[in-house]
Amino acid sequence: MSGRTIQAGSTDQYCEVKVWTTADGVPNTTLVYNTAVMAIWYQIGNAAAVEVVVGGSPAPATMSAGGAHADWGIYHIAQGRYKIGLADAVVSAAANVTVWIVFTDCDSAPCEIDVVGYDKTTAIPDQVWDEATAGHTTVGTYGGRVVRSTNSNVEVQITGSNHIAADVHEFQTGVITAGDFATDAITAAALAADAVTEIQSGLASQASVDVIDGIVDTILVDTNDLQTNQGAWATATGFATPTNITAGTITTCTNLTNLPAGVQTSIDTVQAIAAGTVTGAGTATEVFVGTNATVTVTADSSGNRSAVVVT
């Protein structure tokens, strides 16, 4: 029988052994776990061979197709092929293990088992990959690393200039930085139309610029006098017209209009008291009448004011 590879430390493993009649080569299909004088033999490495015989220790055990594993269990599969359940101890460490069957007037094809100390499902592929991607520098040997994508579309070609042409689907974060691009390397021709549209969406449109330009033009027209006729400011409506300014002091002022309400009221109050007519002078109620305000003052016999009303 052909051999097999088993990882050391595996449990509930099997092997197959074929048995046939020595005289005519006809497959033997009669053996069961308790067949008299039938024995299962095994050898680990170069150690002494061990016999598993009916009535011995260990002894063959009953086992069936689709049933549970049994140490040294045995059943006939077909055409003289027998399935044997291996004891875990036999494959506990890396070694070469041979298993065969001995029966009267019969021969068997031993099962050769390579018990290895690594996980064959990952170690061998890893070794193959590591070797393929290693940097070989010996002249005449494979001088590059295999480029591979985790994407299903693994499309890599070596060009005539010995450059790699790849169908790139994704880059790791931070792989490409600003320093990777030469100055002016990205031109308008290199940008797709939708990229240009996306950039423009964050900028003012021409229509918006035109609206702003019109507003600015209107402001310029409305403030033309402020820009070109500063000499007329003093006579413009709402501005005081100074007639006598001495050392920064205005002594005479006309056309004092459009003042804030509080300022205007204060001026009118002062004008009424200082220059207006008076009634009830010296009494408990004195009334000062000015041009734009009337001030009523309530006072005691000593002249102390208790109330002032401006109307």
Q: Is there a contact between 81 and 16 (Cβ–Cβ < 8 Å)?
A: yes
Residue predicted with more confidence, 307 or 203: 307
Q: What percent of the chain has pLDDT over 70?
A: 76
* pLDDT (0 to 100) of residue 149: 45
* pLDDT (0 to 100) of residue 285: 92
Lowest average pLDDT, out of 105-109, 138-142, 208-212, 265-269, goes to 138-142
Lowest average pLDDT, out of 55-64, 142-151, 202-211, 285-294, goes to 142-151
**Alpha-carbon span 1 to 249, nearest angstrom:** 126
Residue 120 Ramachandran class (φ > 0 left, ψ -120 to 50 alpha, else beta): alpha
**Alpha-carbon span 253 to 255, nearest angstrom:** 7
* pLDDT (0 to 100) of residue 170: 79
Most confident of 124-138, 214-228, 245-259: 214-228
Most confident of 15-24, 163-172, 225-234: 15-24
* pLDDT (0 to 100) of residue 203: 76
Please say if the pLDDT value at position 217 is more than 50: yes
pLDDT by residue (tens digit) across 236-253?
555 555 555 555 565 555
pLDDT band at 192 (very low <50, low <70, confident <90, very high): confident
Which CATH topology does 4-116 take?
Immunoglobulin-like (2.60.40)
Please say if the pLDDT value at position 255 is more than 80: no
Please say if the pLDDT value at position 200 is more than 70: yes
Please say if the pLDDT value at position 31 is more than 90: yes
Which structure tokens are listed for 11?
A: 């449990």
Task: Supply the mean pLDDT for the chain.
Answer: 82
| Section 51-63 average pLDDT | 96
Name the DSSP letter for residue 189. G
Query: What is this structure's pTM?
Result: 0.44
* pLDDT (0 to 100) of residue 281: 85
**Among candidate residues 155, 173, 174, 175, the one with its CA nearest the CA of residue 165:** 155
* pLDDT (0 to 100) of residue 51: 97
* pLDDT (0 to 100) of residue 143: 45
pLDDT band at 87 (very low <50, low <70, confident <90, very high): very high
Domain ranges across the chain: 4-116, 238-311
> How far, in whole angstroms, is CA 35 from its chain's centroid?
67
